[in-house]
Amino acid sequence: MKANYLSNENNQLVCVVDDELSTRESLSSLLRSAGLNVQTYSSAQEFLSKASIEALGCLVLDVQLPGISGLDLQQELASKDIQIPIIFITGHGDIPMSVQAVKAGALEFLTKPFDNEYLLETVRSAIARNKKNECSTGRMAHERFEERIGTNGAPRAIANQPEIVISAQLNGSEKAAVAFGEIIGQSGSWLQITRQIEMVAPTDATVLIMGETGTGKELIARELHRRSRRKDQPLVRVNCACIPKELYESEFFGHAKGAFTSAVRDRVGRFEAAAGGTLFLDEIGEIPLDLQSKLLRVLQEKCYERVGEEKTRSADVRIVAATNRDLKKEVAAGRFREDLYYRLNVFPFKVASLHDRKEDIPLLAPHFIEIAVRELRCPRPRLTRAGIETLLSYDWPGNIRELRNVIERAAILAQGGALEFDLPVTGAAPPSVHLRTGCEVEPAFLTDAEIRRRERENLFIVLQKTGWKIKGVDGASELLGIKPTTLISRMERMGLKRPA
């Protein structure tokens, strides 16, 4: 096996090792659709003997493999000082081994069937972490103690200290985005959230994160875990909306062999899988009303029993819950238990929608462009001021998730040119450039002559602002979001000439 693990920004490789053909094929299709280079192997032996890797960004590894197990492969790679982020995927009953793997250094483990979107996010995080931690292969042994120094020679950010990671030019002033772990933003609402995370993360207090879909609730949950005393233990995510009603108890608490017809073996529940760590209950408002009392009992008494078993087990987990529902209204409507709501609402987070924090868009957009270039391997596009204005004029009902998707699509279409966003303008119109006296009344409509006059005034202002520069970066055509030939044609039609 070649030991060449140099970073290659444009060719991130993900290896999948699983003995089930259907799993390999589905994972390969999913990861390739995200622009990643994928190689699949049916066993650890095949991976070790056939893998020829120039830039391995992440390894997706099944726990139970024929011959050399996933855990043994992890240990063998570690013994060869091959530092690769590993994501374990596991079937029912394999969770204790996966917990052991996480403690040994694996990034995370996911239970089958897993959420595709969450897997992609985990792989992206693994690749980003791997690139950040990679060292030159020529580093001498006596320098290894410098693991606390970043690859650029600068000290790594201290655990609870923000780090400047990205900047964007807007209206002539440079604005810096403060990265708090995976969180990027400068709006007052996001800065307030980072302060709340710093306060509550070191405690074991239950946290309830409320906000619309796509606002970044899971980022907050991951950051809470990363900054907690439980950070070296598992973070287990449960999407409560995806669990069939009849399987809730088994998913949460596990079951004993023979507890019901299909219980052919003991199964570990999510509370046990997260022992010592954090249990993230996403979409908690989707739990059926008649099952909420069972969750309430675990939160109150810190104990539970597997289905079909009388043995009481302790629940040493930190609970972080998230919902896009208004749980107060759900309580009033009789769809959510009031006592469970108050048990969860110990330390609430209210995540603002992107519409309410548009000042973060000029910082998020360059960040997502970098991700698109890296993951989709497309030419680096240009983000113009006109493009930023288009993004700011849209209401973003899908929030940050929609923003990322729009930018990725535009990056593919741009082919290295300026980004163009085909979005409906739903925000408030910019104020008119025509100055009126205090006694003038704004008409209910504009005549054709008034429209032409305003268009000419606006064009003249932009030309003066750019020093009558037509083409290129910061040229008038770019500011207006039109082609230079179109601008020249309008100038001729309106009789606009550069002053002598």
> Picking from 42-56, 97-111, 222-236, 328-342, which range would have the lowest pLDDT averaged per residue?
97-111
Nearest to 386 by CA among 433, 434, 423: 423
pTM: 0.56
Average pLDDT, the chain: 78
Taking residues 185-199, report their average pLDDT.
Answer: 89
Structure confidence at residue 174 (pLDDT):
37
Structure confidence at residue 435 (pLDDT):
34
Taking residues 355-362, report their average pLDDT.
Answer: 91
Task: Identify whether the C-beta of residue 381 lies closer than 8 Å to the C-beta of residue 419.
Answer: yes
Could you write out the DSSP letters of every residue in 351-412?
PPPGGGGGGGHHHHHHHHHHHHHHHH-PPPPB--HHHHHHHHTS--TTHHHHHHHHHHHHHH
Distance in angstroms (rounded) separating the CA atoms of residues 414 and 436: 40
Structure confidence at residue 71 (pLDDT):
83
Which among 30-44, 100-114, 161-175, 227-241 has the top mean pLDDT?
Answer: 227-241
**Of residues 146 and 204, which shows the higher confidence score?**
204
Distance in angstroms (rounded) separating the CA atoms of residues 190 and 196: 10
Nearest to 374 by CA among 65, 37, 60: 37
Instruction: Catalogue the E-assigned strands of 171-315.
Output: 173-180, 183-185, 207-210, 235-239, 254-255, 267-268, 278-282, 303-305, 312-314
Give the pLDDT band of residue 84 (cuts 50, 70, 90): confident
Structure confidence at residue 406 (pLDDT):
94
Q: What percent of the chain has pLDDT over 70?
A: 78
In the predicted structure, residue 172 carries a pLDDT above the cut 60: no
> Picking from 113-127, 319-333, 459-473, which range would have the lowest pLDDT averaged per residue?
113-127
In the predicted structure, residue 134 carries a pLDDT above the cut 80: no
Taking residues 204-230, report their average pLDDT.
Answer: 94
Distance in angstroms (rounded) separating the CA atoms of residues 299 and 284: 14
Residue with tokens 């969750």: 295
> Picking from 158-162, 260-264, 283-287, 317-321, which range would have the lowest pLDDT averaged per residue?
158-162
Taking residues 469-479, report their average pLDDT.
Answer: 79
Q: 438 by DSSP, 3-state: which?
A: coil
Distance in angstroms (rounded) separating the CA atoms of residues 378 and 243: 37
Q: Which residues contact 209 (CB under 8 A, 6 or more apart)?
A: 217, 220, 221, 320, 321, 322, 323, 348, 349, 351
Nearest to 495 by CA among 463, 465, 466: 463
Task: Identify whether the C-beta of residue 214 lies closer than 8 Å to the C-beta of residue 345.
Answer: no
Task: Identify whether the C-beta of residue 376 lies closer than 8 Å to the C-beta of residue 411.
Answer: yes
Distance in angstroms (rounded) separating the CA atoms of residues 352 and 215: 7
Quick: pLDDT tens for 23-56: 888 898 888 888 888 899 999 999 888 876 666 7
Give the pLDDT band of residue 97 (cuts 50, 70, 90): low
